[in-house]
């Protein structure tokens, strides 16, 4: 059932479509109440400064901005503003010329980046992604959001503004299935492979649903981040801002595991780079290229534009040569365009699917400039009926019934076998072109985007006009021979060269294959003349490379050094004996020299608390870094960089020591590679930190909680004084992955975060672990349209202690708290009350108190869920998609939902509950608990006084069931009364529940199990919520905190599984150390069984060996022990001595009880 639902959803969302029924124009979708704004320089700088300092009231009012922009923020109730790419200017990759002496960046990655930069377009403009902000508004409707967008767009401080759109997925090798790959034959792949089969130095980033990096035909071709592979788990070894990103990154789960849980990304990767000639499965277009797995679309089949941009940025930063995008959106996004332009400016080639809408209308990113857009054609070169077409599409490639790889456990496409699947769509066509680009770059790494585009389109085989601009379908063989032609060509590897420096050249001439070497001539406008010997690449026949150094001084011919001065022209000439037509010819290329280092015009320093800001101004576009330390002249053990090309840089130095003088030097490099270190004429630049730092106190030292977190480092504690906190910096609080503690001074009732319905209290989304601690905070009035009104954890597992989450709401899931994508926070002594999850959509509005979804498993101890509401499912708690929370001593009271008033479980979730109480919960189905395709495990739990139309206690729907042990289900009611079916109801289509040693009102025995009874449990005072069991031996009185006696004894005392350990149950109470009034033989049923508050029966009340709980020891009990005889395992009913095996010792105990029960001697 689960797979059917998800598959149907995904077919509507992904570009790779299996059936005509799955095709259709996607509705215009966006993230609610959110816009993306790129501010102009001055406004962006002011906003950045305001976000760092915050005004004293914590309000998001940017007073120095223009009057009109401030008015807009107020009019549309600006809730939150934050940069899309945090610390963009300081977190980009540090290039080789600026690499510190510690060599902390891998040389291999640096080399790849530098090689890629050699093909950067001459006039490419580098977009400044640091001015882009994500803004949350409090709009009442979609119409008002559109109105706000229009007004922001018209503001002079705004460069552009847009919605945050939702995008969706759109030599002969010996591989056994190669013959079934009709597409490779169609594009003449074997002719290309006769020239070259590809290089492992070429990297293709696949932006998709992830990649099955363990697939046997892909694992040897995965891009590997060596620093993370060989480093410690949980540490960002290469300091690229992402932890444990060995094969790429997961922007949905926000972790380093981009495994493909859908199959789409693995399929695309197989077309590009399935390992060739390895006797396995299929053959990829580029046999040896590396796949960088970037997952930005999740299990629900879509992803946001902002996450796509983060993935593009990651690909650029980490050395990808090509980005393959088998997905699209109908919404034109300037944010996405900025990211595409940025990648283009860094020499990255972007390929995208045209879309599956059977239209000539544009889809994005396919229709942006500097993107190769791909249509899908069949084996007869006819357009696939659903492929988009027109002048916005550049080229066609096979896209119908194409065989490729399938991910483990995935279900996309028509399965061919365990390892392969068949799919159709422009998503299939796109990776053919991405693979072709990889093969061409493998042969000639200096090719620019324009050159690759030109080769692919002019060598394509003709197809019907109108499908694409080139009217052609890719011909890989012709393209490859155009890269290494008979008419040779020679190229420099850069347009500019510094002094000293290295000049690189590449010569390609198919007629020279196997020649080994070839001469070229270099001359300069200054009069130098040199001969260079180029060497043939061993892996690519007909391609030759070589280098020569530049130097200073007067020209000296034939000395193997090119003497140059700034502004000279360098020319390389190759004389071709055969231009392909039997005639001699000459080919040449030119470059310029730039030998002047950049100059520093101004430097300003501002130090505040433990942070210093260094502002630099240079005379030309540069990249910069600051090296600093406490000693003048070094060593400078700390480094911060700003590697965006700019004339102005602001570099933040954090985590400084108090009362310390710091000295620093500045490293600059220009676009050519001229670099200089500036040290203030040998004196070094310097600044001093404050003599005293009173600690991370809010509001004493820091105006907001966020401001304190921003400056804190690992192990710090932020103390929050009594008071109520609201405004910017006091909601949507981000721990930023830090292992710190945020703690109130005097508990949650005195320390309140009032979100004022502008957002949530805390957002854990940076992989926080158990050392990220939130302690003693009360969160109220949180409100979001999506997930987690009070707290949200995304791929994060913090520790939350002594907190109160009350009066918060979410439009979809988790009014109080939402945990998703492998989040397993630990919560102790927390209260969730009066939270709500409400939505007008029938499938949403779930988890009023807490929602756990997609492999999440929080651990809760002594937590309370009361008065929460969900208009669909799980008012107290909602568990979905293999989420398995563990609850101990938790209480669910007076929660209301349509399905599962206390708890709702679905889609392979298995929550485990021990010593929990459900009372007074209300629903239509399952007053306390409802499960569908899920099996909760309840041990020593009490469910009493819950009500529903169907199943007041537990109601199990399709594929659902429950496992119950030592539990009590009593006085739960439904429309039929309080009989057995009102306590637990396995409805039609459910699985059979397993019930052992439980007390169930109206028990008939029809549900089976062992040791179950139907006697009144005799609760102490259920009307006031006291579910202790009465006993004439001893009962704990929680109101007066003492042990006392009752006139009656509950039959649930000492009636639990005789093989279960007593756990925390007392063997004697403090007032009766000699057990004069009672003795304890077996664990009790109910929520206090196994705890120190379990009641103790009077002497002679129970029989250890009465395994059937029928009041006598007889042949039925011997039969039970025989059933478990010699089995090993915990809590077996026949294991009376509880040593893990039912054996002769247990038989002796059984026999003794049988004799005593029958007044016989042993």
Q: Give CA–CA dist 247/1077, Å, rounded.
A: 66
Distances (CA, A) of 134 to 71, 86, 164, 167: 18, 11, 8, 17
Torsion over CA of 294, 298, 299 and 304, rounded to 10 degrees?
Answer: -150
Among 208, 307, 357, 1153, the one annotated catalytic: 208
Q: Quote the pLDDT of residue 1066.
A: 93
Q: Quote the pLDDT of residue 561.
A: 95
Q: Quote the pLDDT of residue 23.
A: 26
Across the range 412-421, mean pLDDT stands at: 88
**Confidence label for 14 from pLDDT (cuts 50, 70 and 90):** very low
Q: What does the domain layout of the chain look like in residue ranges?
A: 1-483, 489-593, 600-688, 1015-1102, 1110-1162
- Considering the segment(s) 489-593 as one domain, its CATH architecture is Sandwich (2.60)
Q: Give CA–CA dist 413/209, Å, rounded.
A: 14
Q: Are 711 and 654 in contact (CB under 8 A)?
A: yes
Tokens 């994500």 -> residue: 134
Q: Give CA–CA dist 302/259, Å, rounded.
A: 16
CB atoms within 10 A of CB 418: 10
Q: Which fold has domain 1-483?
A: Rossmann fold (3.40.50)
> Parallel, antiparallel, or unpaired: how do β-strands 850-853 and 877-880 relate?
parallel
Q: Give CA–CA dist 803/571, Å, rounded.
A: 71
Closest CA to 763 of 730, 739, 740: 730
**Those residues with Cβ within 8 angstroms of residue 27's Cβ, 6 or more apart along the chain or in another chain:** none
Q: Are 543 and 517 in contact (CB under 8 A)?
A: no
Q: Give CA–CA dist 1115/782, Å, rounded.
A: 61
pLDDT, mean over the chain = 88
Q: Is the pLDDT of residue 56 over 80?
A: no
Q: Quote the pLDDT of residue 107.
A: 52
Across the range 157-165, mean pLDDT stands at: 84
Q: What is the DSSP letter of 181?
A: -
**Annotation says 333 is catalytic:** no
**Percent of the chain at pLDDT exceeding 70:** 90
Q: Quote the pLDDT of residue 655.
A: 75
Which residues on neighbouring strands pair with residue 640, listed in sequence order? 626
- Looking at domain 600-688, its CATH superfamily turns out to be Immunoglobulins (2.60.40.10)
489-593 and 600-688 share one fold: yes
**Confidence label for 157 from pLDDT (cuts 50, 70 and 90):** confident
Please give the backbone phi and psi of residue 310, each rounded to the nearest 5 degrees, phi first: -60, -40
pLDDT tens per residue across span 805-829: 999 999 889 999 999 888 999 999 9
Across the range 22-39, mean pLDDT stands at: 62
**Confidence label for 102 from pLDDT (cuts 50, 70 and 90):** very low
Closest CA to 391 of 443, 357, 354: 354
Across the range 30-37, mean pLDDT stands at: 80
Across the range 875-890, mean pLDDT stands at: 96
**Confidence label for 175 from pLDDT (cuts 50, 70 and 90):** low
Q: Quote the pLDDT of residue 761.
A: 97
**Those residues with Cβ within 8 angstroms of residue 855's Cβ, 6 or more apart along the chain or in another chain:** 821, 822, 881, 882, 883
Q: Give CA–CA dist 90/85, Å, rounded.
A: 10
Q: Quote the pLDDT of residue 141.
A: 60
Q: Which of 63-77, 583-597, 1018-1032 has the highest mean pLDDT?
A: 1018-1032
Across the range 80-104, mean pLDDT stands at: 53
Among the residue ranges 257-261, 374-378, 509-513, 1154-1158, the one predicted with the least confidence is 1154-1158
**Confidence label for 580 from pLDDT (cuts 50, 70 and 90):** confident
**Long-range interactions of 242-245: CB distance < 8 A, separation 24+:** 242/314, 243/737, 243/767, 245/318
Q: Are 518 and 534 in contact (CB under 8 A)?
A: yes
Q: What is the DSSP letter of 538?
A: S
Among the residue ranges 10-24, 252-266, 607-621, 1081-1095, the one predicted with the least confidence is 10-24
Q: Give CA–CA dist 660/638, Å, rounded.
A: 14
Closest CA to 346 of 645, 650, 674, 670: 645
Q: Is the pLDDT of residue 968 over 60?
A: yes
**Confidence label for 1077 from pLDDT (cuts 50, 70 and 90):** confident
Q: Give CA–CA dist 1128/1095, Å, rounded.
A: 30
pLDDT tens per residue across span 1022-1036: 999 999 999 999 999
Among 326, 328, 387, 427, the one annotated catalytic: 427
| Helices assigned H by DSSP within 14-118 | 41-53, 67-75, 88-91, 107-117
pLDDT tens per residue across span 479-506: 999 999 989 999 998 888 988 889 999 9
Q: Are 423 and 402 in contact (CB under 8 A)?
A: yes
Distances (CA, A) of 383 to 351, 359, 453, 466, 641: 19, 12, 21, 10, 50
Q: Give CA–CA dist 19/623, Å, rounded.
A: 51
Q: Listing from the earlier edge strand, what are the strands of the sheet with 420-423? A: 402-405, 420-423, 414-415
Among 264, 432, 481, 649, the one annotated catalytic: 264
**Confidence label for 999 from pLDDT (cuts 50, 70 and 90):** very high
**Annotation says 54 is catalytic:** no
Q: Give CA–CA dist 111/188, Å, rounded.
A: 32
CB atoms within 10 A of CB 345: 19
Half-sphere exposure in the Cβ direction for 183 (13 Å, CA) = 33
Q: Give CA–CA dist 184/179, Å, rounded.
A: 9
Q: Quote the pLDDT of residue 620.
A: 87
**Confidence label for 1062 from pLDDT (cuts 50, 70 and 90):** very high
Q: What is the DSSP letter of 710?
A: H
Select the more confidently predicted residue: 1006 or 579.
Answer: 1006
Q: Is the pLDDT of residue 855 over 60?
A: yes
Q: Is the pLDDT of residue 156 over 90?
A: no
DSSP 1052-1101: TTT-S-TTS--TT--SS-TT-TT-SSB---SPPSSTTTTSTT--BPBTTS
Across the range 100-104, mean pLDDT stands at: 37
> Where would I find the beta strands (DSSP E) of 609-726?
611-629, 638-653, 661-670, 675-678, 685-688, 696-698, 717-720, 723-725
Q: Give the global pTM.
A: 0.63
Q: Is the pLDDT of residue 4 over 50?
A: no
Taking the alpha carbons of 1062, 1065, 1071, 1076 in that order, is the dihedral positive or negative? negative
pLDDT tens per residue across span 747-799: 999 999 999 999 999 999 888 999 999 999 999 999 998 889 999 998 899 99
**Annotation says 378 is catalytic:** no
Q: Are 665 and 636 in contact (CB under 8 A)?
A: yes
Closest CA to 641 of 45, 85, 84, 93: 93
> Parallel, antiparallel, or unpaired: how do β-strands 600-608 and 611-629 relate?
antiparallel
Q: Quote the pLDDT of residue 98.
A: 38
Select the more confidently predicted residue: 610 or 970.
Answer: 970
Closest CA to 355 of 344, 346, 366: 366
| Whether the bond into 365 is cis, omega within 30 of 0 | yes
**Confidence label for 139 from pLDDT (cuts 50, 70 and 90):** confident
The top-level CATH class assigned to 1110-1162 is mainly alpha
Q: Quote the pLDDT of residue 804.
A: 98
């Amino acid at each position: 059932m689960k797979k059917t639902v998800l598959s149907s959803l995904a077919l509507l969302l992904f570009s790779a479509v299996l059936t005509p029924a799955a095709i259709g124009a996607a509705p215009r979708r966006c993230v609610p109440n959110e816009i993306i704004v790129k501010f102009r320089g001055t406004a962006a700088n002011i906003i950045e400064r305001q976000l760092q300092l915050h005004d004293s009231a914590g309000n998001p009012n940017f007073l120095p901005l223009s009057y009109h922009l401030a008015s807009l923020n107020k009019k549309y109730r600006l809730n939150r503003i934050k940069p899309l790419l945090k610390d963009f200017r300081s977190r980009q990759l540090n290039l080789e010329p600026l690499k510190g002496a510690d060599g902390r960046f891998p040389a291999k990655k640096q080399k790849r980046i530098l090689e890629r930069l050699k093909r950067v377009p001459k006039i490419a403009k580098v977009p400044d992604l640091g001015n882009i902000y994500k803004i949350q508004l409090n709009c009442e409707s979609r119409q008002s959001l559109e109105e706000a967008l229009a007004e922001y767009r018209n503001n002079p401080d705004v460069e552009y503004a847009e919605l945050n759109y939702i995008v969706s997925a759109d030599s002969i090798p010996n591989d056994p299935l190669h013959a079934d790959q009709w597409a490779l034959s169609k594009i003449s792949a074997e002719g290309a492979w006769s020239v070259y089969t590809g290089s492992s130095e070429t990297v293709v980033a696949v932006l998709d649903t992830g990649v099955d990096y363990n697939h046997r035909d892909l694992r040897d071709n995965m891009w590997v981040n060596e620093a993370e592979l060989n480093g410690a788990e949980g540490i960002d070894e290469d300091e690229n801002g992402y932890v444990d990103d060995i094969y790429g990154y997961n922007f949905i789960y926000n972790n380093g595991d981009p495994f493909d849980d859908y199959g789409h990304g693995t399929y695309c990767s197989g077309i590009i780079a399935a390992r060739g000639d390895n006797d396995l499965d299929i053959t990829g277009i580029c046999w040896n290229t590396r796949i960088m797995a970037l997952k930005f679309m999740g299990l629900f089949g879509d992803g946001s534009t902002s996450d796509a941009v983060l993935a593009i940025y990651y690909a650029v930063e980490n050395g990808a040569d090509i980005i393959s995008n088998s997905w699209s959106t109908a919404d034109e996004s300037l944010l996405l365009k900025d990211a595409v332009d940025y990648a283009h400016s860094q020499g990255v080639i972007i390929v995208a699917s045209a879309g599956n809408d059977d239209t000539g209308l544009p889809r994005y990113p396919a229709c942006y400039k500097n993107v190769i857009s791909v249509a899908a054609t069949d084996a007869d070169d006819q357009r696939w009926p659903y492929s988009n077409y027109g002048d916005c599409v550049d080229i066609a490639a096979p896209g119908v019934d194409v065989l490729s790889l399938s991910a483990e456990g995935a279900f996309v496409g028509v399965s061919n076998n365990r390892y392969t699947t068949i799919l159709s769509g422009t998503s299939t066509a796109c990776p053919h072109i991405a693979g072709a680009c990889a093969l061409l770059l493998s042969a000639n790494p200096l090719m620019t985007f324009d050159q690759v585009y030109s080769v692919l389109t002019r060598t394509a085989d003709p197809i019907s006009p109108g499908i694409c601009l080139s009217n052609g379908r890719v011909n890989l063989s012709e393209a490859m021979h155009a890269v290494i032609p008979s008419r040779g060509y020679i190229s420099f590897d850069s347009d500019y060269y510094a002094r000293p420096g290295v000049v690189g050249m590449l010569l390609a001439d198919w007629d020279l294959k196997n020649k080994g070497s070839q001469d070229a001539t270099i001359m300069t406008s200054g009069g130098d003349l040199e001969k260079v010997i180029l060497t043939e690449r061993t892996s690519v026949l007909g391609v030759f490379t070589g280098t020569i150094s530049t130097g200073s001084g007067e020209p000296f011919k034939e000395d193997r050094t090119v003497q140059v001065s700034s502004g000279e022209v360098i020319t390389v000439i190759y004389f071709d004996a055969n231009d392909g037509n039997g005639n001699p010819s000459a080919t040449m290329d030119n470059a310029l020299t730039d030998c002047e280092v950049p100059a520093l015009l101004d430097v300003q320093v501002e130090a505040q608390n433990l942070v210093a800001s260094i502002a630099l101004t240079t005379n030309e576009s540069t990249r910069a870094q600051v090296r600093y330390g406490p000693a003048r002249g070094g060593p400078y053990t700390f480094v911060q960089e700003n590697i965006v090309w700019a004339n102005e840089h602001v570099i933040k130095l954090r985590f400084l020591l108090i009362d310390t003088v710091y000295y620093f030097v500045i490293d600059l490099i220009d676009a050519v590679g001229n670099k200089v270190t500036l040290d203030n004429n040998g004196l070094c630049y310097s600044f001093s930190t404050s003599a005293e730092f009173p600690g991370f106190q809010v509001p004493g030292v820091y105006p907001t909680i966020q401001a304190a977190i921003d400056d804190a480092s690992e192990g710090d504690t932020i103390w929050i004084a009594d008071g109520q906190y609201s405004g910017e910096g006091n909601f949507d609080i981000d721990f930023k992955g830090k292992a710190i503690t945020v703690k109130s001074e005097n508990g949650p009732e005195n320390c309140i975060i009032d979100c004022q319905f502008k957002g949530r209290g805390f957002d854990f989304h940076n992989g926080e672990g158990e050392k990220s601690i939130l302690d003693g905070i009360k969160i109220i009035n949180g409100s979001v349209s999506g997930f987690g009104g009070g707290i949200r954890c995304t791929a994060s597992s913090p520790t939350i202690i002594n907190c109160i989450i009350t009066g918060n709401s979410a439009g979809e899931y988790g009014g109080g708290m939402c945990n998703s994508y492998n989040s397993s926070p630990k919560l102790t002594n927390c209260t969730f009350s009066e939270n709500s999850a409400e939505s007008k959509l029938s499938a949403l509005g779930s988890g009023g108190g807490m929602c756990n979804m997609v492999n999440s498993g929080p651990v809760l101890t002594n937590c309370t869920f009361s008065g929460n509401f969900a208009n669909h499912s799980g008012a107290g708690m909602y568990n979905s998609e293999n989420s398995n929370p563990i609850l101990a001593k938790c209480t669910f009271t007076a929660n209301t939902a349509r399905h599962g008033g206390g708890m709702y479980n679905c889609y392979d979730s298995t929550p485990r509950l021990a010593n929990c109480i459900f009372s007074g919960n209300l629903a239509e189905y399952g007053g306390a608990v409802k499960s569908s395709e899920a099996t909760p495990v309840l041990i020593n739990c009490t469910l009493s006084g819950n009500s529903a139309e169907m199943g007041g206690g537990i109601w199990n729907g399709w594929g659902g069931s429950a496992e119950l042990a030592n539990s009590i289900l009593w006085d739960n009611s439904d429309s039929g009364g309080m009989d057995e079916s009102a306590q637990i109801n396995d409805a039609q289509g459910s699985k059979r529940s397993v019930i052992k040693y439980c007390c169930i009102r109206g028990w008939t025995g029809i549900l089976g199990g062992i040791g179950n009874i139907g006697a009144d449990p005799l609760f102490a005072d259920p009307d006031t919520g006291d579910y202790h069991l009465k006993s004439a031996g001893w009962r704990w009185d929680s109101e007066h905190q003492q042990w006392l006696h009752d006139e009656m004894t509950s039959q649930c005392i000492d009636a639990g599984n005789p093989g279960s350990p007593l756990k925390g149950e007392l063997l004697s109470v403090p007032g009766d150390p000699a057990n004069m009034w009672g003795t304890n033989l077996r664990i009790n049923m109910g929520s206090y069984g196994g705890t120190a508050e379990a009641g103790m029966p009077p002497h002679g009340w129970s029989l250890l060996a009465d395994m059937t709980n029928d009041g006598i020891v007889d042949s039925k009990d011997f039969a039970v022990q025989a059933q478990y005889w010699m089995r090993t395992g915990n809590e077996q009913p026949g294991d009376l001595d509880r040593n893990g095996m039912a054996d002769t010792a247990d038989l002796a105990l059984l026999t003794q009880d049988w004799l005593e029960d029958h007044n016989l001697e042993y």
